[in-house]
Amino acid sequence: MADTSADVVIVGGGLIGLATAWRLARDGVRVVVADPTPGEQTSSVAAGMLAPVTEVEYGEDDLLALNLAGVAAWPAFAADLEHATGLPSGLYASGTLSVAYDADDAAAIRRLAEYQRRLGLDVVELTGREARKREPLLAVGVSAGMWVPNDHSVDNRRAVTALLAATEAAGVQLVRRTVARVVVDGQRASGIELAGGEVIRAETVVVAAGPWSAQIDGIPDELRPPVRPLKGEILRLRVPEAYRPALQHTVRATARGFAVYLVPRPDGELVVGATSTELGYDTRVLAGGVFSLLRDARMVLPITDELELVEAVAGLRPTTPDNAPILGPAGIDGLLWATGHYRNGVLLSPITAGLIAQTVLTGTVPDLAKPFLAERFRTAPRAS
């Protein structure tokens, strides 16, 4: 039976919700996290790239600043997590190699490198031969590369395991139940109601429910965040001992116009991702998704054929109209968003936790979070 009151109740026990709960609990806040399957949805499907540089998009400068702060926050967060739990955080400071297959692919990564340099980001252009020197099992057809020393990865499943242990040790109460609705009394959120009818009262409700954030009952329609699911399939492959390490760095490839990434784990796993499809909440793994991932992966890493296919799985990225998260006040007292992290949920877990905790504790939105308030999506009333 859940406690019937807390200081903060968090709807959603993925990486964002758990990291936020842990941050708050360490500051002495009484926190409840409600989620029927904590850590088992979007957070368990990711490849876990910390990729502010290699995933930069033209014109997303505020998001780049947040993403860079996100990658900078990871080493201290990982060290704290390991210290608190004795478990691995999953952080792997490997650097990232972007590679191109044909001449058009090479032109595309050179254009991107130019933009990244204009933004002051650390990238080093390489020939195909130089790229293969860093990763000898890359295909001879790889024609160009780019070394990005500060884009890394996190084994998301290890991070979830460690965060579940850390939150428990810090006194967070995890309620493995479905949330029926957010309780709103007048102009104020005052807690949640679980399926079955129990109510947990709280001063603050944080919605960190990823792609389900707009679906939760009780929240006035005009305040619902514009978050939608964007399906992504990934593959988990196992590298036989004889071929290890197949890769030492994250490899992102543009292969005949298609983008694929290969993320090695120190334990011999290789994650290949990801498709991107607007199919609502459908998480079936489709044959075409598996085919395209393998087709593109083996073009740049021929040894892919020799790896064991351990898992093919689909997850849902919580996506917003501008690809940036929705953080902070929702528009009524006592309700905060920590959602819409799209492709950057693993990357942004520690920094989001810090920003939301600061908002809860001080009542003030930190400057870094201000461009990501929900109000940016509300249309201004028309002048009469």
Q: Which is nearer to ligand GLY, 349 or 358 (CB)?
A: 349
- Residue among 128 and 232 whose Cβ is closer to ligand GLY: 232
Of 191 and 210, CB closest to ligand GLY: 210
Computed on alpha carbons and rounded to an integer, the radius of gyration of the chain in Å comes to: 21
DSSP type of residue 369? G
At residue 359, the 3 state secondary structure works out as helix
Query: Taking the complex as a whole, how short is the minimal distance between the CB of residue 317 and ligand GLY, in angstroms?
Result: 5
Write down the least CB distance from residue 34 to ligand GLY, Å.
26
Question: Please, what is the minimum distance in Å from the beta carbon of residue 192 to ligand GLY?
Answer: 29
Q: Provide the H-helix boundaries in the chain.
A: 15-26, 42-45, 61-85, 103-118, 128-134, 156-169, 287-300, 345-362
**Is the CB of 26 or the CB of 231 nearer to ligand GLY?**
231
Q: Are 97 and 135 in contact (CB under 8 A)?
A: yes
* Least Cβ distance, residue 295 to ligand GLY (angstroms): 17
156-169 helix and 61-85 helix, angle to the nearest 10 degrees: 60
DSSP3 helix / strand / coil % (the chain, rounded to 5)? 35, 30, 35
Question: Using CA atoms, how far apart are residues 354 and 345, in angstroms rounded to an integer?
Answer: 14
Q: Rounded distance, CA 228 to CA 222, Å?
A: 16
Nearer to ligand GLY, 26 or 341 (CB): 341
| Contacts of residue 307, Cβ cutoff 8 Å, sequence gap at least 6 | 237, 238, 239, 240, 243, 246, 270
Question: To the nearest whole angstrom, how small is the minimum distance from the Cβ of residue 105 to ligand GLY?
Answer: 18
Q: Smallest distance from the beta carbon of 327 to ligand GLY, in angstroms?
A: 18
Q: Nearer Cβ to ligand GLY, position 230 or 353?
A: 230
- How many CB atoms within 10 Å of residue 246? 21
Q: DSSP characters for 204-232? A: EEEE--GGGTT--BTS-GGG----EEEEE
**Two structure tokens written together for 235:** 């593959």
- How far apart are alpha carbons 206 and 129 in whole angstroms? 50
Identify which of residues 236 and 343 has a Cβ nearer to ligand GLY in the complex. 343
Closest CB to ligand GLY among 236 and 317?
317
Question: Least CB distance from residue 245 to ligand GLY, whole Å?
Answer: 21
CA angle 347, 286, 280 (to 5 degrees): 60
Question: Cβ(227)–Cβ(318) under 8 Å?
Answer: yes
Residue number with CB closer to ligand GLY (70 or 354): 70
Q: Going by DSSP bridges, is the β-strand pair 96-100/31-34 parallel, antiparallel, or unpaired?
A: unpaired
* Residue with the CB atom nearest ligand GLY in the bound state: 343
Q: Give the pairing of strands 144-148 and 124-127.
A: antiparallel
60 vs 80 by CB, closer to ligand GLY = 60
Quote the CA–CA distance of 138 and 197 in Å, as a whole number.
56
Report, in Å, the least distance between residue 56 CB and ligand GLY: 12
* Residues of the shown chain interacting with ligand GLY in the complex, contacts defined by CB under 6 A: 47, 49, 232, 273-274, 317, 343
Phi–psi pair at 314, nearest 5 degrees: -120, 145
Shortest distance in whole angstroms from residue 383 CB to ligand GLY: 40
- For residue 89, the minimal CB distance to ligand GLY (Å) is 18
